[in-house]
């Protein structure tokens, strides 16, 4: 007799019925535990450790369950009643993220920075935009078993998935969902533009929370399993720490690139623009690494950005082809009407960060109100004049 699957956090049949009838879910189908365990066990395997770890780390006072779904939305969090929340994971989105993570982990000219072997790319990416290369990777997924043999690690994909789940859980722990259904929210939604500014601010907060939570959790896991990691990777402990740190930072970048590739618009109204999201994570990683680890380690986020961009330049044939601000945030037009010059510099970063200034000001108004809806975690301090 086949043993029934065991899960502490999968949505019950009653939960699934409530999600379906609530009108909040955009899922076309919600799988019960038995079907999910049979066909999508990898999702269950990840969620069963992510939820308790994040709940413990954030001291959360909410019930969080999850379900595997077929949906037009990759990842979604819903609030049914009281303090009951559900994370909905689109089955194909998870496996797309997994294979993309392993593809980036084994990229020629980049995998060496992660302590891994490379797996050649069989088809040409000459002249393609960065996001078109990503979409090509998604359409022609790498074999995960082959990739795992080359990487001896799943940290990149676990970090990428953890970032996305931590982002969604931040909407719960920081009280975003309760706030959006409250009377307080109305003063931040005077018209469509005002409401979208508020949504972008909450998304920025979720990105910030996700970045710091991935850092905290992955540094903890590296410390706990260091002896085994060093043995598996066949390197000394210091090298293992450096490689694993590079891998989880790459995972965060992968999650952001994946979100870009899935986005319907490169200029969303309810989320910060993609480059602002990337800079939020890069800057936060730089700060927390400097504060908690050291000055030399704080250089790693920028070094990895450049190394990853170099790998994509190798594939596309030139930085001018990539068309993504993570690769080139500035373009110069020489006076002699020759070809534009693309590069990445501090001025371009400053322009990108300026996109966040209105969000910092809106955060200064929202933050005091969120305290009464907060269910865990720590709200970022307000640093700008309220708007």
pLDDT at 160: 98
- Structure letter (DSSP) for residue 11: P
Contact 87, 167 (CB under 8 A): no
Q: Which pTM value belongs to this model?
A: 0.95
- Supply φ then ψ for residue 28, to 5 degrees: -85, -25
Distance CA 92, CA 97 (A): 9
pLDDT at 4: 60
Q: Nearest 5°: CA angle at 232, between 231 and 238?
A: 55
Ordered mean pLDDT values, 10 residues apiece, the chain (387 residues): 75 94 90 95 96 97 96 94 93 97 97 96 95 96 92 95 98 97 96 97 98 97 92 92 98 97 84 92 97 96 98 96 93 81 92 93 97 96 88
Distance CA 175, CA 332 (A): 44
pLDDT at 1: 43
Cβ atoms within 10 Å, residue 117: 14
Q: Nearest 5°: CA angle at 211, between 83 and 282?
A: 155
Q: Which residues contact 311 (CB under 8 A, 6 or more apart)?
A: 107, 108, 109, 110
Distance CA 217, CA 46 (A): 14
């Amino acid at each position: 007799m086949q043993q029934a699957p065991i899960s502490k956090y999968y949505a019950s049949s009653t939960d699934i019925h409530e999600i379906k009838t609530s009108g909040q879910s955009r899922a076309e189908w919600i799988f019960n535990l038995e079907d999910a365990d049979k066909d999508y066990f990898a999702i269950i395997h990840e969620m069963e450790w992510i939820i308790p770890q994040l709940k413990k780390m954030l001291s959360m006072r909410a019930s969080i369950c999850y379900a595997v779904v077929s949906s037009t939305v990759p990842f979604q969090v819903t609030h049914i009643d009281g303090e009951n929340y559900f994370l909905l994971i689109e089955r194909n989105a998870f496996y797309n993220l997994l294979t993309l993570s392993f593809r980036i982990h084994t990229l020629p000219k980049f995998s060496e920075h992660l302590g891994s072997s490379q797996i050649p790319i069989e088809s040409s990416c000459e002249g393609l935009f960065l996001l078109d290369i990503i979409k090509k990777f998604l359409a022609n997924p790498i074999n995960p078993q082959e990739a795992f043999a080359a990487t001896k690690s799943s940290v990149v994909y676990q970090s990428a998935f953890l970032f996305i789940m931590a982002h969604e859980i931040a909407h719960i722990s920081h009280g975003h969902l309760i706030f959006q259904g409250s009377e307080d929210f109305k003063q931040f939604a005077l018209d469509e533009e005002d409401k979208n500014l508020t949504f972008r601010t909450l998304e920025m907060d979720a990105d910030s929370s996700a970045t710091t939570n991935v850092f905290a959790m992955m540094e903890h896991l590296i410390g706990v399993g260091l002896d085994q990691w060093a043995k598996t990777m066949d390197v000394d402990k210091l090298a293992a720490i450096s490689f694993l740190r590079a891998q989880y930072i790459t995972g965060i970048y992968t999650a952001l690139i994946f979100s870009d590739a899935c986005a319907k618009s490169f200029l969303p109204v309810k989320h910060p623009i993609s480059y602002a999201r990337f800079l939020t994570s890069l800057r936060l990683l730089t700060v927390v690494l400097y504060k908690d680890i050291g000055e030399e380690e704080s250089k790693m986020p920028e070094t990895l950005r450049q190394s990853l961009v170099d790998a994509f330049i190798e594939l596309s044939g030139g930085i001018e082809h990539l068309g993504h601000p993570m690769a080139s945030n500035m373009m110069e037009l020489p006076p002699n009407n020759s070809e534009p010059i693309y590069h990445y510099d501090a001025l371009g970063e400053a322009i990108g960060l300026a996109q966040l200034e209105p969000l910092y000001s809106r955060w200064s108004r929202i933050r005091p109100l969120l305290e009464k809806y907060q269910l865990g975690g720590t709200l970022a301090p307000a640093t700008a004049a309220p708007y």
